[in-house]
Amino acid sequence: MAALQVKNVPEDLHELLQERAEAEGASISEVVLAANRRELSRSRVQDWLDELSHDAPAKVRRADILSAIADGRRSR
């Protein structure tokens, strides 16, 4: 298993990590690994935007838009 060393951790962040680790009955390493795993499992915004750009645009006719507007106005 690979090792990772993080340098220049601000004191306030280290204290928060230590408090979280104590509250969870875990080590700081375990807390950091879990946080990294959660973060890296989320989709990146750019990936999401790329995926959207590949989808075919919706085909909406002008008549459908005008009809929806008219329906909305009638329901007021």
Q: Band of the pLDDT at 76, cuts 50, 70, 90?
A: confident
User: Average model confidence (pLDDT) for the chain?
Assistant: 91
Whether 42 maps to a domain, the answer reads: yes
Residue ranges making up the domain that contains 43: 11-74
Q: What is the pLDDT of residues 34-66, one digit of tens each?
A: 999 999 988 888 888 888 777 767 788 899 999
Q: Domain tally for the chain?
A: 1
Whether 26 maps to a domain, the answer reads: yes
Whether 17 maps to a domain, the answer reads: yes
Whether 54 maps to a domain, the answer reads: yes
Give me the amino acid identity at 9.
V
Total-model pTM: 0.59
Backbone region of residue 25 per phi and psi (left: phi > 0; alpha: psi in -120 to 50; beta: other values): left
Whether 1 maps to a domain, the answer reads: no
